[in-house]
Chain A
Amino acid sequence: MATATITKRKQPDRFGPYGGRYVPETLMAALDELERAYDKAKRDLKFRQRLQELLKTYAGRPTPLFLARRLTEKLRGAKIYLKREDLLHTGAHKINNCLGQALLAERMGKRRIIAETGAGQHGVATATVCALFGFECVVYMGTEDMRRQELNVFRMRLLGAEVRGVDSGSRTLKDAINEAMRDWVTNVRTTHYLLGSVLGAHPYPTMVRDFHRVIGREARAQILQAEAKLPAAIIACVGGGSNSIGIFYDFIKDKRVKLIGVEAGGRGHALGEHAARFQGGSPGVLQGTFSYLLQDQNGQVATTHSVSAGLDYPSIGPEHAGLKDSGRAEYVSASDAEALEACTLLARTEGIIPALESAHAVAEAIKRAPKMKRSEVVIVNISGRGDKDIGILRENLNLD
């Protein structure tokens, strides 16, 4: 495509040509303010200590790196370790970023928080930190996602958040982000937008990644202690891409460690049937950032499908687009059926029910591990737990 590159400048807000800040003028000052506040905070020892303390005493870090012996035996290949982000408070990695941004909002004096949510995990984590900090909280969620993740809707309300259903478009994550941005552009002077993935305008992709880097930092130390060597591969699911960039980041410099992102293959290859941006997408701008995008020939954003609400999004974090183009990371997909099967297998071999999002990563491990040497090690990021998905699992699996 002739226009893949809009700008050739190399800047801290770009990953190759990807990233940037494509928002209405009204939001530009707020993004500048956020960038300055974040730059200052990350150099502030007190901020870092407070975040570390909350991650430890409130969220439950560090999370274990668990050797999945029975799964490994069953697959007869590489040794599989699971990074247990599902054990965190609220049930997913999302809390890492929410605690960081809540501390920032407090520093900026913004006591009204808005957020979008797909699977509801980010919404629950946001509602949780808002309760903890005493902030007002509004969460936007597509009505289709509210239906399939109703338990999380109730959890958010129990935590004191207002959940606003979004009825436009495909009524999923993308539409929730549109509505959150409309709220932000209206209330920008008093409100912090607690974006839940490595998406959106600069500084979000960088800042959210930094808050999740702890996943990879811990995993690296843990695997070195357990195996005295680095893993051959790291596998993580990619919706917007926050858990994956979080576990990838500290391994990027270790060139021999394969980084594998797993997108949602949905139920078919046609546009609208999946959310595999790197297989059917092309560069474009959506919701503030330039990245790969599922779109039609006129530049209209395509609808997506995935059994997992958290992966059901037509664009992908711009840093992943950069890693894809440079070849440093590899991106594959797993279908709805493969994810459901992986979920069942992990439940029965290890007694761990992963979130359907994370089950996509498990599905890739199931395909890949048997082709690897037994001396090799693979880490799979279990980014969340499956409790929220019990309803969908019941709809899709016949266990009688």
Chain B
Amino acid sequence: MKIEAAAKMPISFQTHPALIAYITCGDPDLATSRDIALASIAAGASVIELGVPFSDPLADGPVIQRASQRALRHATSLGQVIELGKEIRRQSQAGLIIFSYLNPILRMGIENFAGAVQDAGIDGALVTDLPVEEAEDYLLQMRRRELATIFLAAPTSTDARLKRIADVSRGFVYAVSRTGVTGARQEMAQDAKKLVQRLRKYTRLPVAVGFGISTAAQFAAVGKFADAAVVGSAIVQIIESNPSNEAKSVAEFVRQLLD
């Protein structure tokens, strides 16, 4: 596999650790998703992961499963999520990443997808069920447009795999804190720190830690060994619990984490 190195590093982190906020787009609707994203950025989030709802989210826990179902009830599509990113880009220079399962991207066509992401001014993508071995065409199309390609690294990944993951990642590397699906946890596993240390041997890219981060204490703890923390299910839970007051509630939570 021969992939050209990207010239630019599109995503910048505003705080340490930086906060990467995940939202399931279209939950409860696209206009509210836009408001939540902009309010989170105003509250200090460095990057927004624009989650694409999928019918079979097998890497997600119950909170994001429910959000995906809500978003799919009004047929939120990948195309609409990219449009949403375009709208957010008009109002903000924060990092924007598409976070999706592979099949909606295949359906759109990998080349069409990469083109649309670029046109929208979105910085890149993370595809949950696309390991490096299967990513040849995807990498080709994304590199051609200098888009960030973020891959997952897991505590179960061997050193050889971590090296490959580091080699093809652009923007940052996403370290999965523990084996399991997405969702808040009481304690951060020791796995996360070890994984980040192992990853640093292979990359100078920033490393973000995700899966299970829901409190200010956990957020700060991650900052001791990683560059950024991804908060997903906790935010999606707040959206579910605060109908009609989603953006304000999420912004408040983001400020608490960064405080």
Q: Are B179 and A22 in contact (CB under 8 A)?
A: no
The answer to the question of A285 belonging to the interface, with a C-beta cut-off of 8 Å to chain B, is yes
Contacts of A288 in B (CB 8 A): 129
List B128-148 residues whose CB lies under 8 Å from chain A.
Answer: 128-131, 133-134, 136-137
B9 at the interface (CB under 8 A from A): no
B54 at the interface (CB under 8 A from A): yes
Chain B minimum-CB-distance residue to A4 = B106
Q: What is the minimal beta-carbon distance from A27 to any residue of chain B, in angstroms?
A: 8
Q: Is B152 an interface residue (CB 8 A)?
A: yes
The segment out of A177-185, A210-218, A322-330 that lies at the interface is A177-185
A window 255-293: CB within 8 A of B = 283-288, 293
Which residues of chain A (169-183) have a CB below 8 Å from chain B? Answer: 169, 174, 177-178, 181-182
User: Which of B36-44, B97-105, B196-204, B225-233 lies at the interface with chain A?
Assistant: B97-105
Q: B131 and A25: CB pair below 8 A?
A: yes
The 8 A CB mask of A9-28 against B (1 = contact, 0 = none) is 10000000000111111111
Please tell me if B181 contacts chain A, counting CB pairs below 8 Å. Answer: yes
The answer on a CB contact under 8 Å between B65 and A168 is: yes
Q: A26-B154, A284-B103 are in contact. Are A188 and B179 (CB under 8 A)?
A: yes
Contact A284 B58 (CB under 8 A): no
Whole-angstrom distance between the alpha carbons of A288 and B111 in the complex?
A: 22
A134 CA / B56 CA spacing, docked (Å)? 32
Which residue of A29, A174, A284 is within 8 Å of B106 (Cβ)?
Answer: A284
Given contacts A24-B129, A299-B78, contact A186 B180 (CB under 8 A): yes
Is A187 interfacial (CB-CB < 8 Å)? yes
Complex CA distance for A288 and B129, rounded to whole angstroms: 8
By CB atoms of chain B within 10 A, which of A7, A32, A285 has the most?
A: A285
B75 at interface (Cβ–Cβ under 8 A)?
yes
Tell me if A358 is interfacial: C-beta within 8 Å of chain B: no
Contact indicator B134/A22 (Cβ below 8 Å): yes
The docked-state distance in angstroms from the alpha carbon of A186 to that of B75 is 30
Please determine whether B58 and A181 come into contact, CB atoms closer than 8 angstroms: yes
Give the Cβ gap from A4 to chain B, nearest Cβ, in Å. 9
Q: Are A185 and B134 in contact (CB under 8 A)?
A: no
A interface, over-half SS? mixed
**Residues in A neighbouring B61, C-beta threshold 8 A:** 182
Which of B86-94, B155-163, B237-245 lies at the interface with chain A? B155-163
Chain A residues contacting B128 (CB-CB under 8 Å) are 24
Q: Chain B residues with Cβ under 8 A from A178's Cβ?
A: 56-58
Tell me if A347 is interfacial: C-beta within 8 Å of chain B. Answer: no
- Asked whether any CB of chain A lies closer than 8 Å to the CB of B218, the reply is no
Interface size on B, residues (CB 8 A): 49
Known interface pairs A29-B158, A286-B56; A3-B106 also in contact (CB < 8 Å): yes
Say whether A189 contacts B179, CB under 8 Å: yes
* Closest partner residue, chain B, to A202 (CB atom): B133
A352 contacts which chain B residues (CB < 8 A)? Answer: none
Instruction: Please tell me if B110 contacts chain A, counting CB pairs below 8 Å.
Output: yes
State the CA gap A187–B179 with chains docked (Å): 7
Q: A300, B104: Cβ atoms under 8 Å?
A: yes
Contact of B109 among A3, A7, A27, A298 (CB under 8 A): A3
Known: A28-B161, A284-B103. A300 touches B72 (CB 8 A): yes
In the complex, per-residue mask of B51-86: 1 if CB is within 8 Å of any chain A CB, else 0: 000111111110001000100100101110000000
Contact of A287 among B56, B60, B110, B134 (CB under 8 A): B56
B residues within 8 A CB of A283?
106
B107 within 8 A of A: yes
Q: Is A297 an interface residue (CB 8 A)?
A: yes
B208 CB–A CB distance under 8 Å: no
Q: Mark B102-120, 1 if CB is under 8 A from A, else 0.
A: 1111111111100000000
| Residue among B72, B79, B104, B107 having the largest count of chain A Cβ atoms under 10 Å | B107
User: Is there an interface contact between A182 and B133, defined as CB atoms closer than 8 Å?
Assistant: no
B55 contact from A2, A27, A169, A285, Cβ within 8 A: A169
CB closest chain-A residue, reference B100: A299
A-chain residues with CB within 8 Å of residue B161 when the two chains form the complex: 25, 28-29
A21 touches B131 (CB 8 A): yes
Q: Can you offer 19 A-B residue contacts whose CB atoms are under 8 A?
A: A2-B112, A3-B106, A3-B107, A24-B59, A24-B128, A26-B156, A28-B133, A182-B181, A186-B181, A284-B103, A284-B107, A285-B102, A287-B56, A298-B75, A298-B78, A298-B107, A300-B103, A301-B56, A301-B103
Known: A182-B58, A284-B103, A287-B56. 15 other contacts (CB 8 A): A3-B110, A23-B131, A25-B153, A25-B154, A26-B176, A29-B156, A29-B158, A181-B58, A287-B58, A295-B107, A298-B78, A298-B107, A299-B78, A300-B103, A301-B103
Q: B: which residues have CB within 8 A of A?
A: 54-61, 65, 69, 72, 75, 77-79, 101-112, 128-131, 133-134, 136-137, 151-158, 161, 165, 176, 179-181
The 5 closest A-B pairs by CB, nearest first: A299-B107, A299-B104, A26-B154, A186-B180, A298-B77
